[in-house]
């Protein structure tokens, strides 16, 4: 029975890794589409959203099977229930990559009022956070999970920089207002991706320690 459980846990890790790789690719493609104003890439990201949703359902089914059929001990229960929470955040990251691509389509054909140099930096930071949070779950690496949570300051500071620059562009010329607000929304989506990566990392901490900073501690 335990061998079967371990096999299914390995399957869970693989499925989470694949879903994570898919949303990582979605962020990368959405960023490239935004930088290049490439509508075909933007449409590809939007189309990927359905695949991400299907993977969420498949992982949810496996987690529920593990919980209902295997009767896991407390530590295993923490791990599986954390995975159930994590996939919600991973799916929402996919949604936000698609949202960024929707704005790219909206802005296509119109030159940018400013080269969005700090937005790709936000994308790079969020990709790092998403990748490392899932890696921390698979490797059961508590310190790596905590480092992801701390790294969120990088994304937050970049967002503040982007917001300040866009507000300044509106002050210079009110005609910049509409596009500036669209680009600010893009930056906000990246900030939210970082927040979801933090959520994932917090559930990794829970899966290892049984403690979540927003929940009461659970005894072994």
155-172 pLDDT per residue, tens: 999 999 999 999 999 999
pTM comes to 0.92
94-152 pLDDT per residue, tens: 999 999 999 999 999 899 987 777 999 999 999 999 999 999 999 999 999 999 999 99
Is residue 213 very low, low, confident or very high in pLDDT (cuts 50, 70, 90)?
confident
> What is the chain's Cα-based Rg?
19
- The region, left, alpha or beta by phi > 0 then psi within -120 to 50, assigned to residue 37 is left
The CATH code for residues 2-209 is 1.20.58.220
182-196 pLDDT per residue, tens: 999 999 999 999 999
Measured distance CA(27)–CA(21) in Å, rounded = 10
> Residues 81, 67: contact at Cβ < 8 Å?
yes
Higher pLDDT pick, 3 / 80: 80
State whether residue 1 is helix, strand or coil: coil
């Amino acid at each position: 029975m335990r061998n079967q459980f371990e096999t299914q846990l390995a399957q869970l890790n693989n499925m989470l890794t694949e879903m994570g790789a898919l949303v990582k690719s979605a962020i990368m493609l959405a960023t490239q589409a935004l930088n290049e104003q490439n509508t075909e890439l933007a449409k590809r990201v939007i189309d990927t959203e359905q695949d991400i949703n299907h993977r969420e359902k498949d992982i949810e089914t496996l987690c529920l099977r593990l919980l209902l059929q295997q009767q896991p001990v407390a530590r295993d229960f923490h791990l599986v229930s954390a995975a159930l929470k994590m996939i919600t955040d991973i799916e929402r990251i996919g949604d936000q990559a698609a949202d960024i691509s929707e704005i790219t389509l909206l802005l296509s054909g119109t030159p940018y009022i400013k080269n969005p140099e700090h937005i790709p930096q936000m994308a790079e930071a969020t990709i790092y956070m998403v990748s490392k949070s899932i890696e921390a779950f698979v490797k059961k690496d508590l310190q790596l999970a905590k480092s992801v949570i701390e790294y969120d300051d990088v994304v937050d500071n970049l967002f503040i920089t982007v917001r300040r620059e866009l507000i300044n562009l509106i002050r210079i010329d009110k005609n910049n207002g509409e596009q500036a607000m669209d680009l600010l929304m893009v930056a906000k989506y990246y900030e939210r991706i970082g927040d979801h990566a933090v959520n994932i990392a917090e559930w990794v901490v829970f899966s290892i320690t049984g403690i979540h900073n927003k929940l009461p501690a659970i005894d072994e």
